[in-house]
Amino acid sequence: MIFGAIGSVIMIIILIAFGYLAAQFGWVSKGTPKFITKLIINITLPCTILYSFLNSFTADGLLSSGKFILAAFAGAFLAYLAGKAAARLAKIERRRRGVFTALFSFSNSVFIGFPVAMAIFGEEGMIFAIFYFLANTVSFNTLGYMEIAGDGAYIRSREAPGEPTGIAAEGGLYGDEKASFPQAETARSILKRVLQPPLFAIGGAIVLVLLGVRLPTFINATLSYAGGITSPLSLMFVGMILHRVGFKTLKFEKGLPLVMVGRFLIAPLIMLGLSFLLLRSDPFASQVFIVQMALPCMVTAVIYAEATGADSGYATRGMVLSTLLSFIILPVLVVLFGGI
């Protein structure tokens, strides 16, 4: 089981390396970053969400799993509150506070969470991993996205109107493209950014599941094929960003050690406390949820940071460092919950 869990992390590192090498060899054109972010957010991620929900849940299963879904949502929300509190207590720079909160609060429940759940708990544990995926995905695509978009709005408000910021300010991801943004965003404009295709996909999927709708085989297959590229494409995009920021910047700068504490200690402890309150009669479900809360940062945080003009370099460093640290954390989780 240890090798299965570690293998999941190695796979992620290899895919990130593919993106890094593509950039190193000069295969990434000036329009590539913008294309990838739009493709993932508007097409492949919604397909992933729809396919996962429609093929993992039934109406009866969804309605009869209230306490599990409640525990998962409560864990994600309390981790979010802990992340916001940690950002203020640690006096994280305002321009990075939203990215910090998203990195601290939400785990990589798809790219690492599903393989780890299978490696440690087997098929029986996958249903609880999917419940956590539901809560984590909804929370990240609302609260997490709003936090990251808030960073982008703050950065732009500190610059001249129309002047690009972040990666765009430096000429794009590879120094050869321009971008411009409005000076500031209102609550209404941030809400408009939050109401993106992934959130509509979640809402639509829940409605379809509750109505018992079964999609035609060819549509289901289309969702599977289109959604199947989300994980590798996102990870290769992280590699491109890593090439942009450089390995020399891959260090535990201010806030990132606290992100690691949040991901690997505070978040699972939050779920442990909730388990005593909500899941005393279901220790197996509790174990799955605790492991899902103790995973590296969301890869999608890097995508959203790039798309909204937030600090995507900071998001990349947090995501990559937490993934590397999971080489140590995952074997510990296997020993604690699955045995060797």
Task: Mark out the alpha helices in the chain (DSSP H runs).
Answer: 2-24, 32-39, 45-56, 59-63, 66-89, 97-105, 113-121, 123-139, 145-157, 166-169, 187-194, 197-211, 217-227, 230-245, 256-261, 267-278, 283-293, 300-308, 312-333
Q: Kindly report the pTM of this predicted structure.
A: 0.73
Q: What is the pLDDT of residue 200?
A: 85
Tell me, what's the pLDDT at 165?
43
Angstrom distance (rounded) from CA 124 to CA 63 = 19
pLDDT of residue 188: 63
Q: Say what the pLDDT of residue 234 is.
A: 78
Copy the structure tokens of residue 313.
């370099």
pLDDT tens-digit profile, the chain (340 residues): 566 666 766 777 888 889 889 989 989 887 787 788 788 878 987 888 788 778 877 888 778 788 898 999 999 999 999 999 999 999 999 999 999 999 999 998 866 777 777 777 776 777 788 889 888 988 998 899 889 988 888 888 876 444 444 444 433 433 444 433 333 445 565 566 556 787 788 788 889 988 988 889 999 999 999 988 887 887 788 788 778 777 776 777 889 999 999 999 999 999 999 999 988 888 899 999 999 999 989 888 988 898 888 998 899 889 888 888 887 887 777 777 755 4
